[in-house]
Amino acid sequence: MAMEYNRQLPGPEELKGEYPLPLKLRVIKEERDREIRQVFEGESDKFLVIVGPCSADREDAVLEYVSRLAKVQEQVKDRLVLIPRVYTNKPRTTGAGYKGMLHQPSPDKAPDLLGGIIAIRRLHLRGMEESGLTAADEMLYPENRSYLDDVLSYEAVGARSVENQQHRLTASGMDIPVGMKNPTSGDLSVMLNSIQAAQSGHTFLYRGWDVSTTGNPLAHAILRGGVDKYGTCVPNYHYEDLMRLWELYQKRGLSFPAAVVDANHSNSDKKYKEQPRIVSEVLHSRSHSPEVKALVKGVMIESYLEEGCQPIEGERAYGKSITDPCLGWKDTERLLLEMAGRV
């Protein structure tokens, strides 16, 4: 056989039983979910910032980052809602390379999926406990989100997954906002089709069950730029791009038109230090147009304790990305405080 079954893993309910969500954290999540939902429903004019490492590669550094973020959240709580980006599984374009904490709890060791599902649940629980903030993660594997569905306040479907039917249908059964990225081609119609699917009800197969969903009205767009046929990055965060998306939303008749702008990836051509400039332009566009202000609910920023990135091999610096390069903490803190004064 081409596929070898290594071992059966515990199901989500079993793992939740071993690592339960305490009542105190359930209350925090309910309050955070409500605050974030109000932004997408237009009941709050606060601005969302989904910010954190490209990949959550080690528990101690991620927890320190989230704790620092919590202190900034207290300073900007009247204007910004900070959502830690705690991405525990990573899509790989060719399949090679580090696939995230879910696969490798220790980046320099062999894959350990049992250790991985434990590590990612423990990380999210500890992050909530130590910071009072609930986090965002990427829904790379739809069936695996059941291990974390009681702790997350936001999920994103990536550019390589957004055309996949199982991702779209699973998103339709989620009770939190889910961002659907434009595909790597930059095609907005593909993204809008995924949002329409996620906002609709479906019946499908999920984890061995026949399930039905009612649709997720908080499914929305994430603009991350695209790549043309020559491999050139084409950004889509400019004013004209945002107005075009607003117009396309009006034609679709979707619930709660909303977009989050990803300041990195193809919008920055992975030039991570461009992120503050991109965020500044997005905020200017919001101040210029009531339609853009109503549409753009937040931004995504890739940031860690130390700026840049480093190879996995050899001795690694603490709090520095082992995947895409990130903004450092000092620049991140400065940016967040500046944003609070402009939204």
pLDDT in tens, 62-119: 999 999 999 999 999 999 999 999 999 988 888 788 999 999 999 989 999 999 999 9
Q: What is 17-340's CATH topology? A: TIM Barrel (3.20.20)
Which helix H or strand E contains 300, and what residues bound it?
A: strand 296-302
Q: Return the residue matching tokens 């890739």.
A: 302
Say if CB 225 and CB 237 are below 8 A apart: yes
Give the model's pLDDT for residue 218.
98
What does DSSP say about strands 219-223 and 209-212: parallel, antiparallel, or unpaired? unpaired
Give the model's pLDDT for residue 314.
86
Give the model's pLDDT for residue 47.
98
Say if CB 69 and CB 133 are below 8 A apart: yes
Structure tokens at 133: 């903030």
Q: Alpha-carbon distance 110 to 104, whole Å?
A: 7
Least Cα distance to 290 among 317, 257, 313, 330 occurs for 257
DSSP 199-237: TS--EEEETTEEEE----TTEEEEE--EE-TTS-EE---
Instruction: List CB contacts of 320: < 8 A, sequence separation 6 or more.
Output: 304, 305, 306, 307, 308, 309, 310, 326
Instruction: List CB contacts of 19: < 8 A, sequence separation 6 or more.
Output: 118, 121, 122, 125
Residue type, 214: T
Give the model's pLDDT for residue 50.
98
Specify the range with the lowest mean pLDDT, choosing from 30-44, 99-113, 195-209.
99-113
Say if CB 101 and CB 119 are below 8 A apart: yes
Which band of pLDDT confidence, cut at 50, 70 and 90, is reported for residue 170?
very high
Instruction: List CB contacts of 79: < 8 A, sequence separation 6 or more.
Output: 46, 47, 339, 340, 341, 343
Q: What is the mean pLDDT of residues 150-178?
A: 97
pLDDT, mean over the chain:
96
Q: Alpha-carbon distance 3 to 87, whole Å?
A: 27
Say if CB 325 and CB 309 are below 8 A apart: yes
Give the model's pLDDT for residue 67.
98
Give the model's pLDDT for residue 96.
80
Say if CB 300 and CB 51 are below 8 A apart: yes
Q: Alpha-carbon distance 220 to 196, whole Å?
A: 9
Instruction: Please state at what angle helix 239-252 crosses helix 188-198, rounded to 10 degrees.
Output: 40
What does DSSP say about strands 259-262 and 296-302: parallel, antiparallel, or unpaired? parallel
**φ and ψ at 15, to 5 degrees?**
-65, -40
Give the model's pLDDT for residue 1.
64
Q: What is the mean pLDDT of residues 245-270?
A: 97
Q: Alpha-carbon distance 2 to 4, whole Å?
A: 7
Least Cα distance to 103 among 53, 141, 151 occurs for 141
Q: What is the mean pLDDT of residues 227-235?
A: 96
Give the model's pLDDT for residue 125.
98
Q: Alpha-carbon distance 59 to 101, whole Å?
A: 9
Query: Is 35 in a helix, a strand, or coil?
Result: helix
| Segments making up each domain of the chain, as ranges | 17-340
Give the model's pLDDT for residue 295.
98
pLDDT in tens, 280-324: 999 999 999 999 999 999 999 999 999 999 999 888 999 999 999
